[in-house]
Structure 1
């Protein structure tokens, strides 16, 4: 028998070695910065050392240095690196699915109508919304796999059977429609499996984690259309779906950062559709678009133009770069950026920069919903005024999306517990949800009640002034404040 020659091509071992080498060259330039942070922390000469452990302080500083490179990489390279799938191992079930495209275009027409109806004074002149294609939307059903070990791999069975095995371990009807963060141009459900697995475990339910389209290739409202398609797919399963219909009272929208923005944008879209009395024709049937049980957003990115003063005031605690001029995106040119036709923002066209379905803090009303949000104090104040039941938790000295970044920190465990508790309660006993506003102190985790009247010093007029000035648009409001 002739000796078999190894197949040509790149092996898994080669890919792994290449990834390790790339990681080494990424980490190497950061070593002096890390050493400085460690010394200042040990000597208690840095303010973060009063609130963060050494490990957490190093992680935050390291991420900050990575994001604040003097020579940024092309957008396409950064995006591609963030989309790498680390593989599926451990105590997790993942069933990969894709929704079919409906034969009707009704869902897109309804979304465009909602966008047009809600634009108000925030869209310049007669700006027309992009009309994205309706495409199959991929997602990952995620559940907790109790009997597995940290090194367990998924069995080599069809996706439908993986879904069935996952469902055997669900102890509740909770279904989380999850949207990952990543500034609308990075990350993937694969990068957020630790988060979705943890939420599934704590709620006893399951997570439908959506692979929505990313900018700059697919700007607003592509991701929002994918989110709406995903919600309808849960409510009214398309042909070939592995799941049965899910009642809206068992669905909670959730997400972190840009995913928090998308979860709230989807909610506001549903509210607008209902205000307009619209229905969606979906696979041959006229369907209602009901409200979900609630929304649970973690560090939601509400102000996409970064106009609020907190973007600079809280800089020392975070790893996010300082806001820069919207026309000054310095990444090197590549195949996907600058966009054609040109625009200032990676995610959205210039005319729609302040549309309330992108800048969520500019929405006029949130009446009729329950929400749990972890960052934007002004939105919480607005929600309370609109009569919405809100559970607000603020974590002292913690950076953006800290629960996912600092997985082993005690603050992260507390955050996940509060996050999951709200989700479960919104589905099981929504009438028992009482609004609460709490600061969780660093290290001690002591809970301190917040007077909701003191949450935000800003008025709606202030927010509009900040936003108009930020995008360089002439405001109809007098006495526009100076830049902060």
Structure 2
């Protein structure tokens, strides 16, 4: 599914050449079963992890802004896909109503009452309708854009609809740790998900941190969801019933799916049944389901897998200048921060220790869905979580356990030895194909209300060679109790608050000079 032109190959060559010794060493050690990961990962997987890990640990410092711009470089629309770019307008006279709805949900879910956050404006939200292009010739030049230049966005949309006839829509939120990437980086996997489901996908370009911290992205997600249900004037699409919508996303996009679901559940619980949107009273209704891959459920990164599974993943352990306490209770020394040049967006003013939110809010349920008590998941629609044996696996498993204990239908597929978002990174690998099949099947079943076909009550742990599956009851997925998880998150939140206060005190002192 990966598409390369000549420039792509040159960039790839420049990237890999200095890493040839590392690549050869990784391959040899894996084949000889001498590497620490070889018992769990084949050579392709371990090499993928090693290369991405080396790219993350930059030898040359990069500013947050430069990382962000590089990650959003649009490589064009190539291969068997339709893409129609749209802009979902902000409601003019009722924008305060949408904003108030999000603020009410945030306030209703506060744990300490001291969580603070910036209040963003409601703005137009860019998005891309994406679908699999079934009619494209196999011999299309993959080095050039595959869509005719003379087609309007409306014409592309209607052609996309012809190739995506399923009576459902997938609302997709991309990953990228809340500060990287956009819909253009996810076109290939999103169009593949469209192929398997037959559904059009609305992929959202939500606002990124650190310029737009929490809850800006969540507000954009709600605007996108309401825009599907009650299309603003000039929209290409007809109204989509909520029971025909599936929220989907990977990593931080998976976080947004769960946070948006929790926002909707909370608004219904506090008796806020409607929101005024483009002149219409839109009922707060739940989607058909939520389908995530490697969701980032804990921004505090407090659980054991962030260290225990680090050898199988490319995500580095927490880099916390104020130390990090593990689930075992021991205090780890501070990790050196990733090399980074300052720029005009980071560090911000006043300074924060987290890119996505103020320190006091990192353990809020709409920032870290893991923090939501199990009773807050009551009446949730079916939820799907696919993950590897990765750094974020503990938080995904325990979040799923809470949904299950609240009476929800939740399906979890965990793949042995696989890293974060493996299905999107290694689309041709057997584990990735298996993951996408499960992902797509869940989406179709959730819309069809075939809940009895959704595997619930246990985690499906899929062995490395896909030869067997172990069923693990949710009550046995993790030894930590919910109160122990809450304690760990609160402790790490308090350290962040202390560190952020110190940074802001220094910032104020400098401002006086």
Task: Establish whether TM, by shorter chain, passes 0.5.
Answer: yes
Equivalent residue number for residue 457 of structure 1? 479
Q: Give CA deviations for 1:343-389 in whole Å, capped at 9, x if unaligned.
A: 00011112212111011101022111111112411112111110010
Following the alignment from structure 1 to structure 2, what is the Cα–Cα distance between the partners of residues 473 and 334?
Answer: 25
Partner of 1:368: 379
> Are the equivalent residues in 1 in contact too, given 2:353–2:496 (CA < 8 A)?
no
Matched, 1:66 2:55: yes
Say if 2:300 is the partner of 1:312.
no
Residue from 296, 308, 331 that aligns with 1:301: 296
- Residue number among 316, 322, 325 corresponding to 2:317 in the alignment: 322
Instruction: Report the Cα distance in structure 1 between the residues aligned to 2:288 and 2:203, rounded to whole angstroms.
Output: 17
Distance apart, 1:444 and its partner CA: 3.2
* Residue correspondence of structure 1 range 211-250 to structure 2 within 5 A: 211-250=205-244
User: Partners of 2:419 and 2:346 in 1: how far apart?
Assistant: 29
C-alpha contact 1:112 1:129 (8 A) present in aligned 2:
no
Alpha carbons 2:360, 2:496 under 8 Å: kept = no
Q: 1:334 to 1:132 in 2, by over 3 A?
A: same
Separation in structure 1 between the aligned mates of residue 271 and residue 203 of structure 2, nearest angstrom: 29
In structure 1, the residue corresponding to 2:160 is in which secondary structure? helix
User: In structure 1, the residue corresponding to 2:194 is in which secondary structure?
Assistant: helix
Corresponding residue of 2:191 = 197
Distance 1:384 1:252 in 2: 19
Q: Deviations over 1:102-122 (max 9, x none)?
A: 02121011111111111122x
The 8 Å contact of residues 360 and 493 in structure 2, kept in 1 or not, is answered as no
Q: Matches of 2:401 and 2:154 in 1, distance apart?
A: 44
1:107, 1:282 within 8 Å by CA — same for their partners in 2? yes
Report the Cα distance in structure 1 between the residues aligned to 2:425 and 2:160, rounded to whole angstroms. 26
Q: Structure 2 residue aligned with 1:281, among 276, 299, 305?
A: 276
Query: Does residue 142 of structure 1 match 2:137?
Result: no
**294-303 or 36-45, which moves further after superposition?**
36-45
Q: 2:496 and 2:425 mapped to 1: Cα distance?
A: 39
- Indicate the SS of the match to 1:334: coil
Q: Does the Cα contact within 8 Å between 1:92 and 1:145 map onto a contact in 2? A: yes
Q: Distance in 1 between matches of 2:467 and 2:91?
A: 48
Residue 466 of structure 2 corresponds to residue 444 of structure 1: yes
Contact 1:101 1:134 survives alignment (8 Å): yes
In the TM superposition, residue 90 of structure 1 has moved relative to its aligned partner by 1.4
Match of 1:336 among 341, 345, 367: 345
Q: Alpha-carbon deviation of 1:31?
A: 2.0
Q: Output one character per residue of 1:104-151: Cα deviation in whole Å (capped at 9) or x when no partner.
A: 121011111111111122x53xx4431111111011111111111353
Partner of 2:507: none
Once the two structures are TM-superposed, the CA of residue 207 in structure 1 deviates from its matched residue by 0.6
When residues 42 and 293 of structure 1 are mapped into structure 2, their CA distance, relative to the original with a 3 A threshold, is same
CA contact (8 A) 2:459 2:477 kept: no
Q: Any idea what SS the aligned residue of 2:37 has?
A: helix
Distance 1:86 1:197 in 2: 15
Q: Is the 8 A contact 1:52 1:443 kept in 2?
A: no
Contact 2:385/2:412 (8 A) holds in 1: yes
* Corresponding residue for residue 102 of structure 2: 111
Equivalences for 1:74-89 in 2 at 5 Å?
A: 74-89=63-78
Matched position secondary structure for 1:443: coil
Structure 1 residue 50 displacement after superposition: 3.5
1:154 alignment partner, one of 130, 136, 147: 147
Give the conservation status (yes or no) of the 8 Å contact 1:139–1:211.
Answer: yes
Report the Cα distance in structure 1 between the residues aligned to 2:121 and 2:226, rounded to whole angstroms: 16
Q: How many residues are paired up?
A: 457
1:163 deviates by: 0.6
The C-alpha deviation readout for 1:232-269, integer Å capped at 9, x for no partner, is 00000001100000011110111000000011000000
3-state SS in 2 of match to 1:120: coil
Do 2:409 and 2:451's aligned partners in 1 also have CA atoms closer than 8 Å?
no
Q: Bigger CA drift: 403-412 or 29-38? A: 29-38
* Residue 29 of structure 1, CA deviation: 3.0
Q: Is the 8 A contact 2:359 2:496 kept in 1?
A: no
CA distance in 2, matches of 1:243, 1:405: 31
State TM-score, norm by structure 1: 0.90
Q: Structure 1: how far apart are the matches of 2:321 and 2:119?
A: 24
Distance in 2 of aligned mates of 1:431 and 1:418: 14
1:209 to 170, 189, 203: 203
Name 1:7's counterpart in structure 2. none
Deviation string, structure 1 residues 388-435 (Cα, Å, up to 9, x no partner)? 101111100100000011111100000000010001000012443341
Do the aligned partners of 1:326 and 1:471 also contact (CA within 8 Å) in 2? Answer: no
Cα distance in 1 for residues equivalent to 2:471 and 2:105: 37
Q: Residue 188 and residue 445 in structure 1: after superposition, are their counterparts in 2 closer, same or farther (change >3 A)?
A: farther
- For residues 4-83 of structure 1, the aligned pairs below 5 Å read 23-83=12-72
> Is the 8 Å Cα contact of residues 99 and 233 (structure 1) preserved in structure 2?
yes
| 129 and 42 in structure 1: CA distance in 2 versus 1, 3 angstrom threshold | closer
How far does residue 273 in structure 1 lie from its aligned partner after superposition? 1.0
* Counterpart Cα distance in 1 of 2:58 and 2:483: 36
Q: Unmatched 5+ residue regions in structure 2?
A: 323-335, 387-392, 498-513
* Matched-pair contact (CA < 8 Å) for 1:132–1:221: yes
State how far apart, in whole Å, the 1-side matches of 2:313 and 2:14 are.
24
